[in-house]
Structure 1
Amino acid sequence: MSSGRTFAEKALARAAAVSDARAGDILDVVPDLVFSHDNSAAIRHIFETIGASRIRHPERVAITLDHAVPAPTTRHAQNHAAIREWVAVQNIAHFFEVGRGICHQVISEEGLVLPGETVLGADSHSTHAGWLGAFGAGVGRTEMAALWATGMLWLRVPETVRITLDGRPPLGVTAKDISLAILNMLGSDGALYCAVEFAGDTLAALSLDERAVLPNMMAEAGAKNAYL
């Protein structure tokens, strides 16, 4: 890989098995992990509608029941039951039941996200994976169905926005406060389809838990991914 490239360019070049990539390039990306949650039943419907029957790489799929838990209605309970049945049929080993936690937290704790990898999730806050040095991006249900079926997805390499944070946060100021201040400056589309790279000595003053907040929240500015 040549020097002078952003993290997003390097990560997506790796995922597409090409020697180099620049912002604006269209690449066929093979992610290391794809994940979804309670929306997996809806994704299954799309998957079957397009004529697919078997997930191409079940070992790269993770599903967590985390959004409507405990099931608040009969419909939600039936949805969970359908997902459990689907997991068994497709031999999905990385399945996490009600109560295990939120999908972003769970795949991090389970060691399913590693530095330099590409992680695509059917959730807008999939930018979260950047706290572990991965390219994490959210995709829609149709895109996730295509990923289940083919194991790949085309992506445009995003432009990069660099945010440098210097100084130790005052007592009582949290990573959420920092994130909200950044979002106030950027607005809801200030990083639209951009890669956000965080730098600066403030990061060293944050706990591991706090560091996870920054990339997660950049989804609210429209970021494609975010990275520490």
Structure 2
Amino acid sequence: MNPQTFAEKIFKAPAGAIVFARPDIILTHDNTSSIYKTFQKMGGEKVADPDQMLVVLDHNAPPADAKLATQYQEIRDIVAKQGIKKFYDAGKGICHQIMSYHAHPGMLIVGSDSHTSTAGA
């Protein structure tokens, strides 16, 4: 029997290998507008698969000032422009809790929230 680490089992690759894997879900939240600006600077125009995206507005909800309100509207515009269906506006829940409704065994999930790993709990 060849014991494997958790990552080796998931990616079916030995430790230290470079792995290219397509995530089932990509989680992002209130930082979406800054990430999107980076995406555009890199030449990105259209998200490859909008069905992968899960966007939740939760960290600054409700927005405390005009700057945050503008940022939230930018995110809503991005979601609409990109055709992202899994969008949870402010007041609909916390991203890592909402993730639990979308996560299933065997999925690869990446996210910009420090609690993303709880999807596998």
What's 2:109 paired with? 119
Give the counterpart of 2:70 among 68, 78, 102.
78
Where do 5+ consecutive residues of structure 1 fail to align?
A: 14-19, 132-228
Q: Distance in 2 between matches of 1:92 and 1:116?
A: 23
What's 1:152 paired with? none
- Larger C-alpha radius of gyration, 1 or 2? 1
What's 1:128 paired with? 118
- 1:4 Cα offset (Å): 2.7
Runs of 4+ in 1 over 6 A off after TM superposition: none
Aligned amino acid, residue 9 of structure 1? E
- 1:33 Cα offset (Å): 0.5
- 1:3 Cα offset (Å): 5.5
Question: Does residue 1:5 correspond to 2:4, yes or no?
Answer: yes
- 1:104 Cα offset (Å): 0.6
Aligned amino acid, residue 9 of structure 2? K
Give the counterpart of 2:47 among 47, 55, 59.
55
What's 1:68 paired with? 60
TM-score, reference length from structure 2: 0.93
Q: Distance in 1 between matches of 2:106 and 2:8?
A: 11
Secondary structure (helix, strand or coil) at the match of 1:62 reads strand
What's 1:32 paired with? 24
Q: Distance in 1 between matches of 2:115 and 2:92?
A: 18
Give the number of equivalent residue pairs.
Answer: 121
- 1:6 Cα offset (Å): 2.7
Q: Distance in 1 between matches of 2:46 and 2:95?
A: 23
- 1:50 Cα offset (Å): 0.7
Which residues in structure 2 correspond to 1:206-221 (within 5 Å)?
A: none
RMSD of aligned residue pairs (Cα, Å): 1.4
How big is each residue's C-alpha offset from its partner over 1:16-69, in whole Å with a ceiling of 9 and x where there is no partner?
Answer: xxxx31222111121111010000000110011111100001000000000001
- 1:9 Cα offset (Å): 1.4
Give the counterpart of 1:23 among 12, 15, 19.
15
Secondary structure (helix, strand or coil) at the match of 1:120 reads strand
Which residues in structure 2 correspond to 1:98-109 (within 5 Å)?
A: 98-108=90-100
Where do 5+ consecutive residues of structure 2 fail to align?
A: none
Which residues in structure 2 correspond to 1:60-209 (within 5 Å)?
A: 60-108=52-100, 110=101, 112-131=102-121
